[in-house]
Amino acid sequence: MKIKLSDSYFVFDLDDTIYNEIDYKISGINYLVQQISQIYGCSLESSSFYNVDNFIQEIQAQLDLPEEVAQSYLWKYRLHIPKISMNKDNEDMLSYINKNSSGIAILTDGRSITQRQKIKALGLEDIPLYISEEYGSEKPDAKRFKIIESTNQSLNYIYVGDNISKDFITPNNMGWITFGIKDNGLNIHKQNMSDFSKDYLPNFWIDTIADLKQYFH
């Protein structure tokens, strides 16, 4: 299958699609540990929390922090300016698509301020952004997909994501072309394909955003 760029509108997921979400987690943990160490005069090792799912709870337990204090650090994590980046090939491909397609957008789930901090850190502020909290709608709900169709007329709609449980089922049902970014071993949400029916899977699997180029003509 070949895609004519000028007739196609591209919609990208953010976390673990455009960049590695684990980088955001590591950035936030490093920031918190630095703050906490300064305030409490303790010595915490950031890397000891990288593979902990609920690291706030773990920090709270180690320092015997009240729940209110733990929640304040959770918000510090959400509000911190992350040290994250795209690889150069992905950055170049997004720029190429932005210049040559009928349009481009980012559709992501999460808190508005957190996702916008990520977008700012990645230098993607010029791309239209559809955040779940701002629309009262999380994937796989179709609300934001329908808004994109109604406000951006195109012959083809392309969706690129990674999360099998929610990314592809809706655009598949709407007749969009879907691409899945394969887990590089760092994904937050693992891709257990055997747990889902075909409707939940993308039309095509690729290793990185840069690999989209092989489908262009």
Domain ranges of the chain: 5-20+84-215, 23-79
Buried-exposed string 92-120: b where 16+ CB fall within 10 A, e elsewhere: ebbeebeeebbbbbbbbbbeeebbbbbbe
Task: Of 9, 65, 7, give the one whose Cα is nearest residue 32.
Answer: 65
Distance of CA 115 to the CA centre of its chain: 8
Structural fold of domain 5-20+84-215: Rossmann fold (3.40.50)
What is the distance between the alpha carbons of residues 139 and 148, in angstroms, rounded to a whole number?
Answer: 14
pTM: 0.94
Q: Hey, what are 195's tokens?
A: 């747990």
What is the distance between the alpha carbons of residues 85 and 88, in angstroms, rounded to a whole number?
Answer: 9
- Sign of the dihedral defined by the CA atoms of residues 80, 90, 51, 133, in that order: positive
- Tens digit of pLDDT at every position of the chain (217 positions): 899 999 999 999 999 999 999 999 999 999 999 999 999 988 899 999 999 999 999 999 999 999 999 999 999 999 999 999 999 999 999 999 999 999 999 999 999 999 999 999 999 999 999 999 999 999 999 999 999 999 999 999 999 999 999 999 999 999 999 999 999 999 988 899 999 999 999 999 999 999 999 999 8
